[in-house]
Structure 1
Amino acid sequence: MIPSFFIAHGAPLLAIENNDYTQFLKELGQTMPTPKAIVLFSAHWESHVQKVSQVDEYSTIYDFGGFPEALYQIQYLAKGSQELSREIEELFTNQGLHYEIDTSRGLDHGAWIVLRMLYPNADIPVVSMSVNPHLSPEEQYKIGKSLSMLRENDILIIGSGGTVHNLRAVKFHGDNGPVDKWAFEFDEWLAHQLKTWNIESLFNYDALAPNAQYAVPPYGKEHFAPLFYAMGAAADQKKATLRHRSYRYGNLSHSVWQFG
Protein backbone atom coordinates (compact mmCIF):
# COMPACT_ATOMS: atom_id res chain seq x y z
CA MET A 1 0.00 0.00 0.00
CA ILE A 2 1.45 3.33 -1.03
CA PRO A 3 1.78 5.97 1.75
CA SER A 4 0.23 9.42 1.69
CA PHE A 5 2.33 12.56 2.10
CA PHE A 6 2.20 16.11 3.37
CA ILE A 7 4.72 18.15 1.38
CA ALA A 8 5.63 21.80 1.88
CA HIS A 9 5.72 23.70 -1.41
CA GLY A 10 7.67 26.65 0.00
CA ALA A 11 7.95 29.94 -1.85
CA PRO A 12 7.51 30.00 -5.67
CA LEU A 13 11.27 30.47 -6.20
CA LEU A 14 11.70 26.88 -5.07
CA ALA A 15 10.69 25.84 -8.60
CA ILE A 16 13.95 27.19 -10.08
CA GLU A 17 16.29 26.64 -7.13
CA ASN A 18 18.74 23.86 -6.41
CA ASN A 19 19.18 23.18 -2.71
CA ASP A 20 18.95 20.40 -0.14
CA TYR A 21 15.16 20.47 -0.16
CA THR A 22 14.73 20.36 -3.93
CA GLN A 23 17.25 17.52 -4.06
CA PHE A 24 15.32 15.65 -1.40
CA LEU A 25 12.05 15.96 -3.31
CA LYS A 26 13.64 14.81 -6.56
CA GLU A 27 15.19 11.80 -4.82
CA LEU A 28 11.87 11.01 -3.12
CA GLY A 29 10.15 10.82 -6.50
CA GLN A 30 12.88 8.52 -7.79
CA THR A 31 12.95 6.14 -4.83
CA MET A 32 9.34 5.59 -3.79
CA PRO A 33 7.01 3.26 -5.75
CA THR A 34 5.62 4.87 -8.89
CA PRO A 35 1.91 5.56 -8.35
CA LYS A 36 -0.80 4.86 -10.89
CA ALA A 37 -2.24 8.33 -10.27
CA ILE A 38 -2.05 11.22 -7.79
CA VAL A 39 -4.72 12.98 -5.75
CA LEU A 40 -3.42 16.35 -4.56
CA PHE A 41 -4.98 18.79 -2.08
CA SER A 42 -3.43 22.22 -2.63
CA ALA A 43 -3.40 25.10 -0.16
CA HIS A 44 -3.81 27.45 -3.10
CA TRP A 45 -7.19 26.11 -4.13
CA GLU A 46 -9.62 27.23 -1.46
CA SER A 47 -13.30 26.43 -1.66
CA HIS A 48 -16.20 26.23 0.81
CA VAL A 49 -17.43 23.16 -1.04
CA GLN A 50 -15.03 20.31 -1.77
CA LYS A 51 -13.96 20.55 -5.41
CA VAL A 52 -12.88 17.55 -7.45
CA SER A 53 -11.15 18.28 -10.75
CA GLN A 54 -12.28 16.42 -13.85
CA VAL A 55 -10.13 17.53 -16.76
CA ASP A 56 -8.23 15.83 -19.56
CA GLU A 57 -5.12 18.03 -19.38
CA TYR A 58 -4.23 20.76 -16.92
CA SER A 59 -3.01 24.23 -17.76
CA THR A 60 -0.32 25.79 -15.54
CA ILE A 61 -1.50 28.58 -13.22
CA TYR A 62 0.99 31.31 -12.21
CA ASP A 63 -0.79 32.48 -9.07
CA PHE A 64 1.98 34.81 -7.90
CA GLY A 65 3.57 38.06 -9.00
CA GLY A 66 6.89 39.88 -9.02
CA PHE A 67 9.14 36.87 -9.55
CA PRO A 68 11.80 36.17 -12.21
CA GLU A 69 10.54 35.58 -15.74
CA ALA A 70 11.89 32.02 -15.67
CA LEU A 71 9.08 31.02 -13.30
CA TYR A 72 6.45 32.09 -15.81
CA GLN A 73 8.01 29.97 -18.53
CA ILE A 74 7.51 26.73 -16.64
CA GLN A 75 4.73 24.49 -17.85
CA TYR A 76 3.58 21.33 -16.16
CA LEU A 77 1.00 19.81 -18.48
CA ALA A 78 -0.18 16.86 -16.41
CA LYS A 79 -3.06 14.72 -17.56
CA GLY A 80 -6.19 14.23 -15.53
CA SER A 81 -8.00 10.98 -14.85
CA GLN A 82 -11.72 10.85 -15.52
CA GLU A 83 -11.85 7.35 -14.06
CA LEU A 84 -10.24 8.37 -10.77
CA SER A 85 -12.40 11.50 -10.54
CA ARG A 86 -15.52 9.35 -10.82
CA GLU A 87 -14.18 6.95 -8.20
CA ILE A 88 -13.63 9.86 -5.80
CA GLU A 89 -17.16 11.09 -6.50
CA GLU A 90 -18.52 7.67 -5.64
CA LEU A 91 -16.55 7.51 -2.39
CA PHE A 92 -17.76 10.96 -1.35
CA THR A 93 -21.36 10.14 -2.27
CA ASN A 94 -21.34 6.86 -0.35
CA GLN A 95 -20.06 8.66 2.76
CA GLY A 96 -22.42 11.60 2.52
CA LEU A 97 -19.72 14.18 1.74
CA HIS A 98 -20.80 17.14 -0.37
CA TYR A 99 -18.65 17.98 -3.39
CA GLU A 100 -18.69 19.74 -6.75
CA ILE A 101 -16.93 18.88 -10.02
CA ASP A 102 -14.56 21.38 -11.65
CA THR A 103 -13.87 20.88 -15.35
CA SER A 104 -11.61 23.82 -16.18
CA ARG A 105 -9.15 24.80 -13.42
CA GLY A 106 -5.44 24.26 -14.02
CA LEU A 107 -2.74 23.39 -11.49
CA ASP A 108 -1.69 26.20 -9.13
CA HIS A 109 1.87 26.52 -7.90
CA GLY A 110 1.07 24.64 -4.71
CA ALA A 111 0.40 21.66 -6.95
CA TRP A 112 2.82 21.94 -9.85
CA ILE A 113 5.91 22.90 -7.85
CA VAL A 114 5.60 19.71 -5.81
CA LEU A 115 4.57 17.50 -8.72
CA ARG A 116 7.33 18.79 -10.97
CA MET A 117 9.96 18.01 -8.34
CA LEU A 118 8.65 14.48 -7.83
CA TYR A 119 7.70 13.61 -11.40
CA PRO A 120 9.30 16.07 -13.84
CA ASN A 121 7.96 14.29 -16.92
CA ALA A 122 4.33 14.98 -15.97
CA ASP A 123 3.57 11.39 -16.95
CA ILE A 124 1.34 10.43 -14.00
CA PRO A 125 -2.40 11.33 -14.06
CA VAL A 126 -3.49 13.86 -11.44
CA VAL A 127 -6.79 14.72 -9.78
CA SER A 128 -6.54 18.14 -8.15
CA MET A 129 -8.58 18.81 -4.99
CA SER A 130 -9.48 21.99 -3.14
CA VAL A 131 -9.13 22.58 0.59
CA ASN A 132 -11.51 24.31 2.97
CA PRO A 133 -9.61 26.08 5.78
CA HIS A 134 -12.93 26.92 7.48
CA LEU A 135 -13.64 23.28 8.25
CA SER A 136 -12.44 21.88 11.55
CA PRO A 137 -9.29 19.72 11.44
CA GLU A 138 -11.51 16.76 12.29
CA GLU A 139 -13.66 17.39 9.20
CA GLN A 140 -10.57 17.77 7.00
CA TYR A 141 -9.23 14.51 8.41
CA LYS A 142 -12.55 12.82 7.62
CA ILE A 143 -12.37 13.87 3.96
CA GLY A 144 -8.87 12.43 3.68
CA LYS A 145 -9.98 9.26 5.47
CA SER A 146 -12.79 8.78 2.97
CA LEU A 147 -10.15 8.34 0.26
CA SER A 148 -7.85 6.00 2.17
CA MET A 149 -8.86 2.92 0.19
CA LEU A 150 -7.41 4.53 -2.95
CA ARG A 151 -3.95 3.85 -1.54
CA GLU A 152 -4.60 0.11 -1.90
CA ASN A 153 -4.67 0.68 -5.65
CA ASP A 154 -1.36 2.58 -5.67
CA ILE A 155 -2.97 6.03 -5.76
CA LEU A 156 -0.68 8.61 -4.14
CA ILE A 157 -2.48 11.16 -1.95
CA ILE A 158 -0.61 14.41 -1.27
CA GLY A 159 -1.44 17.43 0.84
CA SER A 160 0.60 20.46 -0.30
CA GLY A 161 1.02 23.38 2.10
CA GLY A 162 3.31 24.30 5.00
CA THR A 163 3.37 23.56 8.74
CA VAL A 164 4.74 27.02 9.56
CA HIS A 165 3.58 29.57 7.01
CA ASN A 166 3.27 33.15 8.24
CA LEU A 167 4.15 35.50 5.40
CA ARG A 168 4.08 38.50 7.73
CA ALA A 169 6.90 36.96 9.75
CA VAL A 170 9.22 35.59 7.05
CA LYS A 171 12.55 37.32 6.52
CA PHE A 172 13.05 37.25 2.77
CA HIS A 173 16.37 39.09 3.13
CA GLY A 174 17.67 36.71 5.78
CA ASP A 175 17.62 33.36 4.01
CA ASN A 176 20.68 31.95 5.74
CA GLY A 177 19.93 33.23 9.23
CA PRO A 178 19.03 31.18 12.30
CA VAL A 179 15.64 29.49 12.66
CA ASP A 180 13.18 31.43 14.80
CA LYS A 181 12.61 29.68 18.11
CA TRP A 182 8.84 30.00 17.93
CA ALA A 183 8.70 28.18 14.59
CA PHE A 184 10.93 25.35 15.76
CA GLU A 185 8.96 24.90 18.99
CA PHE A 186 5.70 24.63 17.07
CA ASP A 187 7.12 22.06 14.66
CA GLU A 188 8.58 20.04 17.54
CA TRP A 189 5.19 19.92 19.29
CA LEU A 190 3.55 18.96 16.01
CA ALA A 191 6.09 16.19 15.38
CA HIS A 192 5.39 14.59 18.75
CA GLN A 193 1.62 14.59 18.20
CA LEU A 194 1.94 13.21 14.68
CA LYS A 195 4.35 10.43 15.64
CA THR A 196 2.00 9.31 18.43
CA TRP A 197 -1.06 9.88 16.22
CA ASN A 198 -2.60 12.03 18.95
CA ILE A 199 -5.52 13.30 16.93
CA GLU A 200 -7.28 14.69 19.99
CA SER A 201 -4.44 17.16 20.56
CA LEU A 202 -3.89 17.75 16.84
CA PHE A 203 -7.54 18.66 16.29
CA ASN A 204 -7.10 21.28 19.05
CA TYR A 205 -3.64 22.45 17.98
CA ASP A 206 -4.71 26.11 17.94
CA ALA A 207 -5.29 25.98 21.71
CA LEU A 208 -2.58 23.49 22.70
CA ALA A 209 0.45 24.00 20.47
CA PRO A 210 3.09 26.57 21.47
CA ASN A 211 3.02 29.65 19.23
CA ALA A 212 0.12 28.23 17.21
CA GLN A 213 -1.40 31.61 16.41
CA TYR A 214 1.93 32.72 14.98
CA ALA A 215 2.85 29.53 13.13
CA VAL A 216 -0.66 29.08 11.74
CA PRO A 217 -2.19 32.56 11.73
CA PRO A 218 -5.95 32.87 11.22
CA TYR A 219 -5.37 34.28 7.73
CA GLY A 220 -3.07 31.39 6.79
CA LYS A 221 -4.85 28.21 7.85
CA GLU A 222 -5.15 27.03 4.26
CA HIS A 223 -1.49 26.01 4.32
CA PHE A 224 -1.87 23.90 7.44
CA ALA A 225 -5.14 22.25 6.42
CA PRO A 226 -3.59 19.89 3.80
CA LEU A 227 -1.78 18.13 6.65
CA PHE A 228 -5.08 16.77 7.96
CA TYR A 229 -6.31 15.64 4.54
CA ALA A 230 -3.07 13.72 3.99
CA MET A 231 -3.04 12.31 7.52
CA GLY A 232 -6.65 11.16 7.28
CA ALA A 233 -5.80 9.24 4.12
CA ALA A 234 -3.63 6.94 6.28
CA ALA A 235 -5.98 6.67 9.25
CA ASP A 236 -6.08 2.91 8.76
CA GLN A 237 -2.37 2.61 9.60
CA LYS A 238 -1.79 5.50 12.00
CA LYS A 239 1.91 5.81 11.30
CA ALA A 240 3.69 9.14 10.72
CA THR A 241 7.32 9.58 9.69
CA LEU A 242 9.15 12.88 9.31
CA ARG A 243 11.11 12.52 6.07
CA HIS A 244 12.55 16.04 5.86
CA ARG A 245 12.49 19.31 7.74
CA SER A 246 14.38 22.50 7.02
CA TYR A 247 13.64 26.22 7.06
CA ARG A 248 14.00 29.24 4.81
CA TYR A 249 13.78 32.94 5.63
CA GLY A 250 13.90 32.37 9.39
CA ASN A 251 10.68 30.42 9.81
CA LEU A 252 9.16 29.17 6.53
CA SER A 253 9.17 25.42 7.07
CA HIS A 254 9.96 22.79 4.46
CA SER A 255 8.46 19.73 6.11
CA VAL A 256 7.66 16.41 4.47
CA TRP A 257 5.56 13.95 6.45
CA GLN A 258 4.90 10.42 5.30
CA PHE A 259 1.74 8.72 6.55
CA GLY A 260 1.36 4.97 6.42
Structure 2
Amino acid sequence: MKKIKIFMMMLLAVLSFAACDDDDDDSKQSIISEYTLNDQQVAAQKAKSGKDKAVLLVAFGSTWTNAFAAFDETKRAYEAAFPDADVYFCFSSDICINRASAGEHGESRNYYEPRYLLHAIGAAKYKTVYVQSLQVIPGEEFANVVAAVKKFANNGYVKDAHLDDEYLKNVEIHLGMPLLNNLDEVDDVAKLLNDLYKDEAAQGVVAFMGHGNPDNYDSFKANVRYTQLEEA
Protein backbone atom coordinates (compact mmCIF):
# COMPACT_ATOMS: atom_id res chain seq x y z
CA MET A 1 0.00 0.00 0.00
CA LYS A 2 2.94 2.35 0.62
CA LYS A 3 3.95 1.92 -3.01
CA ILE A 4 0.42 2.86 -4.09
CA LYS A 5 0.47 5.98 -1.88
CA ILE A 6 3.86 7.13 -3.20
CA PHE A 7 2.67 6.52 -6.75
CA MET A 8 -0.39 8.64 -6.03
CA MET A 9 1.86 11.62 -5.27
CA MET A 10 3.53 11.18 -8.65
CA LEU A 11 0.15 11.59 -10.35
CA LEU A 12 -0.45 15.13 -9.11
CA ALA A 13 0.45 16.36 -12.58
CA VAL A 14 -2.71 14.83 -14.04
CA LEU A 15 -5.10 15.17 -11.10
CA SER A 16 -7.15 18.29 -10.41
CA PHE A 17 -7.97 19.47 -6.89
CA ALA A 18 -11.42 20.62 -8.02
CA ALA A 19 -13.32 18.11 -10.08
CA CYS A 20 -17.06 18.66 -9.82
CA ASP A 21 -19.73 21.12 -8.75
CA ASP A 22 -20.87 21.17 -5.13
CA ASP A 23 -23.17 18.31 -4.14
CA ASP A 24 -25.09 20.52 -1.70
CA ASP A 25 -27.45 21.93 -4.35
CA ASP A 26 -28.86 18.55 -5.39
CA SER A 27 -30.69 15.79 -3.61
CA LYS A 28 -28.73 12.60 -3.17
CA GLN A 29 -29.46 10.30 -6.09
CA SER A 30 -27.62 7.17 -7.11
CA ILE A 31 -27.16 5.79 -10.55
CA ILE A 32 -28.74 2.37 -10.05
CA SER A 33 -26.66 0.34 -12.45
CA GLU A 34 -27.33 -3.20 -13.49
CA TYR A 35 -24.83 -4.62 -11.05
CA THR A 36 -25.41 -8.12 -12.40
CA LEU A 37 -24.01 -6.96 -15.75
CA ASN A 38 -21.18 -5.26 -13.91
CA ASP A 39 -20.42 -8.55 -12.12
CA GLN A 40 -20.23 -10.32 -15.45
CA GLN A 41 -17.86 -7.71 -16.85
CA VAL A 42 -15.50 -7.98 -13.89
CA ALA A 43 -15.68 -11.77 -13.85
CA ALA A 44 -14.90 -11.85 -17.57
CA GLN A 45 -11.88 -9.60 -17.09
CA LYS A 46 -10.57 -11.72 -14.24
CA ALA A 47 -11.04 -14.89 -16.28
CA LYS A 48 -9.07 -13.26 -19.08
CA SER A 49 -6.22 -11.98 -16.94
CA GLY A 50 -6.13 -14.63 -14.24
CA LYS A 51 -5.08 -12.06 -11.64
CA ASP A 52 -5.96 -12.38 -7.96
CA LYS A 53 -5.43 -8.73 -7.00
CA ALA A 54 -7.77 -5.81 -7.65
CA VAL A 55 -7.06 -2.11 -7.20
CA LEU A 56 -10.12 0.15 -6.95
CA LEU A 57 -9.34 3.84 -7.43
CA VAL A 58 -11.94 6.17 -5.92
CA ALA A 59 -12.03 9.78 -7.12
CA PHE A 60 -14.49 12.42 -6.00
CA GLY A 61 -15.60 12.70 -9.61
CA SER A 62 -16.16 15.23 -12.38
CA THR A 63 -18.41 16.11 -15.30
CA TRP A 64 -15.73 17.61 -17.56
CA THR A 65 -14.13 15.95 -20.57
CA ASN A 66 -10.58 17.02 -19.67
CA ALA A 67 -11.07 15.50 -16.22
CA PHE A 68 -12.27 12.24 -17.79
CA ALA A 69 -9.04 12.19 -19.80
CA ALA A 70 -7.01 12.73 -16.61
CA PHE A 71 -8.87 9.87 -14.92
CA ASP A 72 -8.20 7.61 -17.90
CA GLU A 73 -4.50 8.48 -17.76
CA THR A 74 -4.43 7.86 -14.02
CA LYS A 75 -5.97 4.42 -14.45
CA ARG A 76 -3.48 3.54 -17.19
CA ALA A 77 -0.59 4.71 -14.99
CA TYR A 78 -1.73 2.45 -12.15
CA GLU A 79 -2.13 -0.46 -14.56
CA ALA A 80 1.46 0.05 -15.71
CA ALA A 81 2.77 0.41 -12.14
CA PHE A 82 0.85 -2.61 -10.81
CA PRO A 83 0.82 -5.21 -13.62
CA ASP A 84 -0.10 -7.98 -11.18
CA ALA A 85 -3.50 -6.37 -10.45
CA ASP A 86 -6.68 -5.51 -12.31
CA VAL A 87 -7.40 -1.79 -11.87
CA TYR A 88 -10.89 -0.30 -11.60
CA PHE A 89 -12.06 3.31 -11.29
CA CYS A 90 -15.11 4.86 -9.66
CA PHE A 91 -16.58 8.10 -8.27
CA SER A 92 -17.59 8.71 -4.67
CA SER A 93 -19.93 11.59 -5.61
CA ASP A 94 -23.46 10.57 -6.62
CA ILE A 95 -24.01 13.98 -8.17
CA CYS A 96 -20.92 13.67 -10.37
CA ILE A 97 -22.01 10.18 -11.41
CA ASN A 98 -25.44 11.39 -12.47
CA ARG A 99 -24.19 14.50 -14.26
CA ALA A 100 -21.40 12.63 -16.05
CA SER A 101 -23.91 10.04 -17.23
CA ALA A 102 -26.19 12.82 -18.49
CA GLY A 103 -23.31 14.38 -20.43
CA GLU A 104 -23.64 17.71 -18.66
CA HIS A 105 -20.62 19.15 -20.48
CA GLY A 106 -20.83 17.27 -23.76
CA GLU A 107 -19.29 13.82 -23.29
CA SER A 108 -21.38 11.21 -21.48
CA ARG A 109 -19.52 8.78 -19.23
CA ASN A 110 -20.86 6.00 -17.00
CA TYR A 111 -19.13 5.72 -13.65
CA TYR A 112 -20.24 3.77 -10.58
CA GLU A 113 -20.28 4.17 -6.82
CA PRO A 114 -17.64 2.25 -4.83
CA ARG A 115 -20.28 -0.15 -3.49
CA TYR A 116 -21.13 -1.45 -6.96
CA LEU A 117 -17.52 -1.93 -8.00
CA LEU A 118 -16.63 -3.57 -4.69
CA HIS A 119 -19.57 -5.93 -5.02
CA ALA A 120 -18.49 -6.82 -8.54
CA ILE A 121 -14.90 -7.33 -7.39
CA GLY A 122 -16.15 -9.56 -4.58
CA ALA A 123 -18.35 -11.54 -6.96
CA ALA A 124 -15.23 -12.17 -9.07
CA LYS A 125 -13.54 -13.41 -5.85
CA TYR A 126 -10.27 -11.54 -6.00
CA LYS A 127 -8.07 -12.68 -3.13
CA THR A 128 -6.62 -9.22 -2.39
CA VAL A 129 -8.47 -5.92 -2.78
CA TYR A 130 -6.81 -2.48 -2.54
CA VAL A 131 -9.12 0.51 -2.33
CA GLN A 132 -7.13 3.70 -2.96
CA SER A 133 -8.70 7.07 -2.29
CA LEU A 134 -7.80 9.79 -4.81
CA GLN A 135 -9.29 12.48 -2.57
CA VAL A 136 -6.86 15.16 -1.42
CA ILE A 137 -7.99 15.39 2.21
CA PRO A 138 -9.80 12.87 4.44
CA GLY A 139 -13.10 14.74 4.34
CA GLU A 140 -16.77 13.89 3.91
CA GLU A 141 -16.28 12.10 0.59
CA PHE A 142 -13.56 9.90 2.08
CA ALA A 143 -15.89 9.06 4.98
CA ASN A 144 -18.27 7.68 2.36
CA VAL A 145 -15.46 5.53 0.96
CA VAL A 146 -14.71 4.16 4.44
CA ALA A 147 -18.39 3.31 4.88
CA ALA A 148 -18.45 1.49 1.54
CA VAL A 149 -15.41 -0.63 2.46
CA LYS A 150 -16.97 -1.51 5.82
CA LYS A 151 -20.20 -2.59 4.15
CA PHE A 152 -18.24 -4.70 1.69
CA ALA A 153 -16.29 -6.40 4.48
CA ASN A 154 -19.51 -7.07 6.41
CA ASN A 155 -21.50 -8.29 3.41
CA GLY A 156 -23.97 -5.44 3.72
CA TYR A 157 -23.88 -4.42 0.11
CA VAL A 158 -26.35 -4.37 -2.71
CA LYS A 159 -29.85 -5.35 -1.62
CA ASP A 160 -30.65 -9.02 -2.20
CA ALA A 161 -27.22 -9.61 -3.74
CA HIS A 162 -25.08 -10.91 -0.90
CA LEU A 163 -21.55 -12.18 -1.37
CA ASP A 164 -20.10 -15.48 -0.27
CA ASP A 165 -19.46 -15.27 3.48
CA GLU A 166 -16.64 -17.80 3.27
CA TYR A 167 -14.94 -15.69 0.63
CA LEU A 168 -15.22 -12.55 2.77
CA LYS A 169 -13.59 -14.36 5.71
CA ASN A 170 -10.44 -14.88 3.68
CA VAL A 171 -10.17 -11.89 1.33
CA GLU A 172 -7.51 -9.29 2.16
CA ILE A 173 -8.87 -5.74 2.09
CA HIS A 174 -6.58 -2.69 2.20
CA LEU A 175 -7.66 0.95 2.31
CA GLY A 176 -5.29 3.64 1.03
CA MET A 177 -5.65 7.03 2.69
CA PRO A 178 -6.08 10.40 0.92
CA LEU A 179 -3.04 12.34 -0.24
CA LEU A 180 -2.90 14.74 2.74
CA ASN A 181 -4.01 12.36 5.46
CA ASN A 182 -0.99 13.09 7.68
CA LEU A 183 0.65 16.41 8.49
CA ASP A 184 4.10 15.07 7.62
CA GLU A 185 2.95 14.59 4.00
CA VAL A 186 2.09 18.26 3.52
CA ASP A 187 5.67 19.44 2.96
CA ASP A 188 6.34 16.70 0.40
CA VAL A 189 3.21 17.56 -1.58
CA ALA A 190 3.96 21.30 -1.39
CA LYS A 191 7.45 20.73 -2.78
CA LEU A 192 6.09 18.58 -5.58
CA LEU A 193 3.47 21.18 -6.50
CA ASN A 194 6.09 23.93 -6.47
CA ASP A 195 8.29 21.89 -8.79
CA LEU A 196 5.44 21.00 -11.13
CA TYR A 197 4.06 24.52 -11.46
CA LYS A 198 7.18 26.68 -11.12
CA ASP A 199 6.92 27.94 -14.72
CA GLU A 200 3.30 29.00 -14.22
CA ALA A 201 4.11 30.54 -10.84
CA ALA A 202 6.84 32.65 -12.45
CA GLN A 203 4.15 34.29 -14.58
CA GLY A 204 1.74 35.06 -11.73
CA VAL A 205 -0.37 33.42 -9.04
CA VAL A 206 -1.23 29.70 -9.13
CA ALA A 207 -4.36 28.81 -7.17
CA PHE A 208 -5.31 25.28 -6.15
CA MET A 209 -8.93 24.65 -5.24
CA GLY A 210 -10.20 21.82 -3.07
CA HIS A 211 -13.74 20.61 -2.46
CA GLY A 212 -13.54 21.00 1.32
CA ASN A 213 -16.13 20.24 3.98
CA PRO A 214 -18.90 22.39 5.51
CA ASP A 215 -17.60 24.14 8.64
CA ASN A 216 -20.28 22.42 10.72
CA TYR A 217 -19.37 19.01 9.32
CA ASP A 218 -15.58 19.04 9.04
CA SER A 219 -14.95 15.32 8.68
CA PHE A 220 -11.78 14.21 10.44
CA LYS A 221 -10.99 17.93 11.02
CA ALA A 222 -9.40 17.82 7.59
CA ASN A 223 -10.03 21.35 6.26
CA VAL A 224 -6.91 22.56 8.07
CA ARG A 225 -4.80 20.65 5.54
CA TYR A 226 -5.55 23.29 2.90
CA THR A 227 -4.20 26.08 5.08
CA GLN A 228 -1.17 23.97 5.98
CA LEU A 229 -0.51 23.21 2.32
CA GLU A 230 -0.73 26.89 1.38
CA GLU A 231 1.72 27.83 4.14
CA ALA A 232 4.12 25.06 3.13
Q: Same fold (TM over 0.5)?
A: no
Q: Structure 2 length as normaliser, TM-score?
A: 0.30
Normalised by the length of structure 1, the TM-score is 0.28
With a CA cutoff of 8 Å and minimum separation of 6, indicate the structure with the bigger relative contact order: 1
Q: Relative to total residues, which structure has the larger helix share, 1 or 2?
A: 2
Larger radius of gyration between Structure 1 and Structure 2: 2
Which one has the bigger strand percentage?
1
